[in-house]
Amino acid sequence: MRIGLVGKPNVGKSTFFSAATLAKVDIANYPFCTIDANVGVAFIAAPKPCPCKELRKRLESDGRLEPVTLDDPRGGSICEPRTGSCIGYVRLVPTFLVDVAGLVPGAAEGRGRGNAFLSDLANCDALIQVVDAAGLTDIEGNPIAAVEDVESALKEETSFLTEELDSWIYGILDDGWSRGSRRVQAEGDKGLSTFLHERFTGLGASLSHILQALDEFRNKWGDLDTPWIWQEDKVRSLAFYIRRQLFPIHIAANKADSAKGTPWEAIDANGIIQPTMADMELALRRADSAKMISYSPGDDSFKTIDESRLNPAQLNALSGMKQKLSDANGTGVAELLCKVLFTALDHVVVYPVADENGWKDGEGRILPDAFVVPNNIETKQLAYKVHTDLGDGFIKAVDGRSRRVVGADYECVDNSVIKIHAKN
Ligand SMILES: Nc1nc2c(ncn2[C@@H]2O[C@H](COP(=O)(O)OP(=O)(O)OP(=O)(O)O)[C@@H](O)[C@H]2O)c(=O)[nH]1
Ligand SMILES: [Mg+2]
């Protein structure tokens, strides 16, 4: 999974990016040192407690493991993550984050970084548009308080990104449209979906993205007859629905610390706006890395580790941050990433193992891998994600909880532990 950060200059994209990817430095030696400067790995807390919690319980009740002690630095976790980490059963899983600079109107016509900007975006599964919440002011520079005024200011802020993306998608559609869409004549609606799927695989389209877009399009326009003679506005409308599938956009209303009193709750009707304080998240994670405080992303508070080591200025700054953090219920950074990955993209975390009893891999490591996969992925598809050979040689799978043998089309859910049997 790859989430792109976009937005106008100086809204806080790079701050958000550094805050969210900082963890890779001290959490795991994640092997991505050679990726582009603007691509990083963010670690996001899995929605459910790591299955090592259940495993610990089982081992304890069998008398094979001592109960967890209060001073256990891992807070009871007994898994051995190959990437990410797990403390107190909070399992961190990796996702790619891209800081996509260079959003300027007219990119689809080649302005600014133009196509380079668009091809950076093309690899993303979802976008977070960072906007400067502090800049959402009225003409006199006063913060806006009325819900409808914030909504229209936000619309103005965000519409040019969607317009840019829509016209880019439209350009791809329009190229060879009448010939391609004539496949409907011979093959019916299926011809159109196949054509669109082929057209947009390069942008990461799956057939279900296309079918979903066509469904929404039908709701507005009715049947898909004679697409080769559609007017431009109808093809543009199809581009709109495809874009929404390929690039769902969430909004980070950043610098929320300077936009106090904005009624986010009232505006957040679709759950796509999240107030954030990226610079505070960055400061807190750095202070945590420096062992000044103990802070977990997503928390609305932190503990100061050893106050006697800090000078009055530091203590003062920390207490100010603590107040802001609790007022805002957290910085919103981890919360937004979690929302995008698990709710909007409907992904879940699945744990493949080699031993369905001990939940270990071939080398005896407990629950080393946590895969972020689409919800309800079938076991054979999961096998392919682990390794091509495992998919090709797939025989059967075993559900690690029920210990039931299951077939290739068995659907994994969030937190599934799955053993895959394959020919070797
Ligand atoms: N008050 C406040 N300032 C912030 C916040 N996040 C970022 N900033 C500040 O906003 C300024 C711009 O941040 P950047 O992260 O460089 O912004 P950018 O969007 O990457 O900018 P470009 O790379 O120029 O497009 C910096 O001075 C940050 O410290 C925040 O949550 N609150
Ligand atoms: Mg930047």
- The Å distance, Cα 77 to ligand 1 centre, comes to 36
Residue 326 CA to ligand 2 center (angstroms) comes to 27
Tell me if 101 CB under 6 Å of ligand 1.
Answer: yes
Residue reference for tokens 């049947």:
223
**Counting ligands in written order, which one lies closest to the CA of residue 104?**
1
132 Cβ closer than 6 Å to some ligand 1 atom: no
Question: Which residue has a Cα nearest atom 7 of ligand 1?
Answer: 12
User: Which of 18, 21, 14, 16 shows the shortest CA–CA distance to 43?
Assistant: 21
Check the CA dihedral 153-154-160-166 and report its sign.
negative
Given the DSSP bridges, would you call strands 293-294 and 273-275 parallel, antiparallel or unpaired? unpaired
Distance CA(264)–CA(268), nearest Å, equals 6
Q: Is the CB of 208 under 6 A from ligand 1?
A: no
Residue 236 contacts residue 108 (beta carbons within 8 Å) = no
Q: How far is the CA of 101 from the centre of ligand 2 (A)?
A: 6
- Does residue 12's CB lie within 6 angstroms of at least one atom of ligand 1? yes
Q: What is the CA radius of gyration of the chain?
A: 24
pTM for this structure? 0.89
CA nearest ligand 1 atom 10, residue: 12
pLDDT the model gives residue 111: 75
Cα 130 to Cα 144, 172, 324, 408, distances in angstroms = 18, 26, 20, 41
Q: Strands of 272-378 (E only): list them.
A: 273-275, 293-294, 303-304, 347-353, 371-374
Q: Specify the pLDDT at position 35.
A: 52
Instruction: Answer whether 103's CB lies under 8 Å from 10's CB.
Output: no
**10 CA to middle of ligand 2, Å?**
7
pLDDT at 117: 79
What pLDDT score does 33 carry? 40
CA of 201 to the centre of ligand 2 (A): 29
The C-alpha atoms of residue 271 and residue 267 are separated, in whole angstroms, by: 9
| Per-residue confidence in pLDDT tens, the chain, 424 aa | 999 999 888 889 989 999 999 755 444 444 444 455 588 899 999 999 999 999 999 999 999 999 999 999 999 999 999 988 999 999 999 999 999 877 777 776 777 777 777 888 888 999 999 999 887 766 666 666 778 888 888 888 888 889 989 999 999 999 989 888 888 888 888 999 999 999 999 898 999 999 999 999 999 999 888 899 999 999 999 999 999 999 989 999 999 988 877 888 787 656 689 999 999 999 999 999 889 999 999 999 999 998 898 999 999 999 999 999 999 999 999 999 999 999 999 999 999 999 999 999 999 999 999 999 999 999 999 999 999 999 999 999 999 999 999 999 999 999 999 999 999 7
Nearest atom of ligand 1 to the alpha carbon of 10: 21
Dist CA 111 CA 119 (whole Å): 14
119 C-beta neighbours (distance < 10 Å), count:
12
Q: For ligand 1, what atom is nearest to the CA of residue 17? A: 15
- Return the amino acid letter for 99: D
